[in-house]
Structure 1
């Protein structure tokens, strides 16, 4: 079933794109990520579309083993950090509308220089979060 046309706000509701391209909206709850696995077949083949605003370093690294993640800057100034060949590759993003493609299986984190808002298109199946990359 397709999502209601809206309008919606990312502050309250996320979008899940199914493998067939159908969009479903889901309200944010305290157990949101655990619910995704249960409601969407372990998130197999799905893409989570969400916005996130932050003004502090993420404090952790994440990795998506099932596909590339696309991250679009809405506003702010952020170092988007990829762990490549055993070292940090820092991509500074300042221009709204600019985006990065995080390759499948690459650990990454973000370090904002001021309040930053980004939109994420995340292949969430099997996502890992760790204090350090790898």
Structure 2
């Protein structure tokens, strides 16, 4: 070994931007990661999660972020990001690395794909909720 440590990846160690713009790191290895964010960071108020997720199937769940817009940047693969707000559904197809979508505050959203996909997420997480289908 050369004595040099490998830097972390956002997939394994997401970054948390605190209200004073410091960056904290928290390993994403526990099944209760998101609940821990709420408890460790006072409900995540004023914090932003910067993370990478890999997926190769539809999410199967919808989410909404009332604290602000979410920024999603495609790293590889392809996915349809589906938003539902004010009774209307919109679909944004990301299929070229470097493309991005901004999910508006309070818009329910999910992703649909059938291919291996990786994306970078910048998420204002305070108050995030999940639903099997908010359109029902």
Runs of 4+ in 1 over 6 A off after TM superposition: none
Cα distance in 2 for residues equivalent to 1:68 and 1:22: 20
Deviation of the 1:111 alpha carbon: 0.2
1:19 alignment partner in structure 2: 19
TM-score by length of 2: 0.90
2:105 alignment partner in structure 1: 104
Which runs of 5 or more residues in structure 2 are unaligned? 1-5
Higher gyration radius (CA): 2
Cα distance in 2 for residues equivalent to 1:60 and 1:30: 16
Range with greater deviation from structure 2 (31-40 or 66-75): 31-40
Q: Please tell me whether residue 30 in structure 1 is matched to residue 31 in structure 2.
A: yes
Deviation of the 1:97 alpha carbon: 0.9
Which runs of 5 or more residues in structure 1 are unaligned? 1-5
2:129 alignment partner in structure 1: 128
**What's the CA shift string for 1:26-83, capped at 9, x where partnerless?**
0122221111111111100000011001010001110000100000000011101011
The RMSD of aligned alpha carbons is 1.3
2:3 alignment partner in structure 1: none
2:7 alignment partner in structure 1: 7
The answer to whether the 8 Å contact 1:108/1:133 transfers is no
Residues 22/110 of structure 1: CA separation in 2 closer, same or farther (3 Å cut)? same
1:48 alignment partner in structure 2: 49
